[in-house]
Amino acid sequence: MRAKRVASLTAYRQPGAAEWAAMAPQDIALTATPLSMQPTPYIQQSWDGKPYGQTPALKAACVHDGHEWALRVTWQGVSGMGHDFPDALAVALPVKGKPVLALMGQPDAPIHMLRWQANKEKLRIISATGIGKSIDGAAVKCGVQARAVDNEWQVVFTRVLGHGAGVAPLLAGKKTGIGFALWRGANDERAGIKAFSIDWIELALDA
């Protein structure tokens, strides 16, 4: 995925901006996290035979202006109101190296995540060092705008470029990896019951 450099991010902050429509988003294939990787016997047992993580793909495009990065993600499946768990999407960036995405990082190679969920106005910043080992992550200036159009979510994440202790590097002219995790609230999806993007996707930011 390429993050093209643009003069200003102002218009790109809106998920319905014409600027996004003019870009060709990348298809990101998703798959359900394996049942055998669910961390407790209860979860394995109770979800055995029940479909989850069925959203096949999402579309993503991004830009940056030298100071800030904007990522627009869209996918089909809006749960609506009245469910115990919200629709949610997490964007994963490696702090160091490329730990196995499916294992949610490792102690010496955490994953820095920005998590949006439909019932919150702000992102949650998470640092994950393994399955079930996520904590609040290092603070970084970020934001989100989301809207549901018919059955499609359109979500724009923004984050400042740069790096720091515990903050995944995002630097103009550099490459890193990006991953996604998607929860469908109407299906009670939460924790490891989700769809994810299998492996890191290369993310190259224009100089």
User: Coil, strand or helix: which one is 162?
Assistant: strand
Q: Does 43 bind another protein (CB under 8 A)?
A: yes
Q: Which C-beta is closer to another protein: that of 59 or that of 190?
A: 190
Q: Which C-beta is closer to another protein: that of 39 or that of 56?
A: 39
Q: Does 191 bind another protein (CB under 8 A)?
A: yes
Q: Does 83 bind another protein (CB under 8 A)?
A: no
User: Coil, strand or helix: which one is 35?
Assistant: helix
Q: Which C-beta is closer to another protein: that of 41 or that of 107?
A: 41
As a whole number of Å, the CA-based R_g of the chain is: 16
Span interacting with another protein, options 60-68, 94-102, 130-138, 172-180, rule CB under 8 A: 130-138
Span interacting with another protein, options 20-28, 40-48, 55-63, 138-146, rule CB under 8 A: 40-48
Render 70-124 in DSSP notation, one character per residue: EEEEEEE----SS-SS--EEEEEEESSS---GGGT-BTTB-EEEEEEETT-SSPE
Residues 6+ apart with CB under 8 A from 50: none
Query: What are the structure tokens assigned to 23, written together?
Result: 């870009």
User: In the set 103, 109, 131, 138, which binds another protein (CB under 8 A)?
Assistant: 131
Name the one residue in this structure whose structure tokens are 């970020």.
142
Residue 28 Cβ vs another protein, minimum distance, rounded to whole Å: 25
Q: Which C-beta is closer to another protein: that of 127 or that of 134?
A: 134
Instruction: Tell me, by CB under 8 A, how many residues bind another protein.
Output: 15
In angstroms, the CA 185 to CA 112 distance is: 23
Q: Does 38 bind another protein (CB under 8 A)?
A: yes
Residue 44: enclosing H or E segment and its boundaries?
helix 41-47
User: In the set 5, 13, 96, 190, which binds another protein (CB under 8 A)?
Assistant: 190
Q: Which C-beta is closer to another protein: that of 33 or that of 176?
A: 33
Residue 44 Cβ vs another protein, minimum distance, rounded to whole Å: 8
Q: Does 10 bind another protein (CB under 8 A)?
A: no
Long-range contact set of residues 38-46: C-beta below 8 Å, sequence gap at least 24? 38/192, 38/193, 39/131, 39/132, 39/191, 39/192, 43/191, 43/192, 43/193
Name the one residue in this structure whose structure tokens are 């319905």.
16
- Which residues contact another protein (rule: CB under 8 A)? 38-43, 45-46, 84, 131-132, 134, 190-192
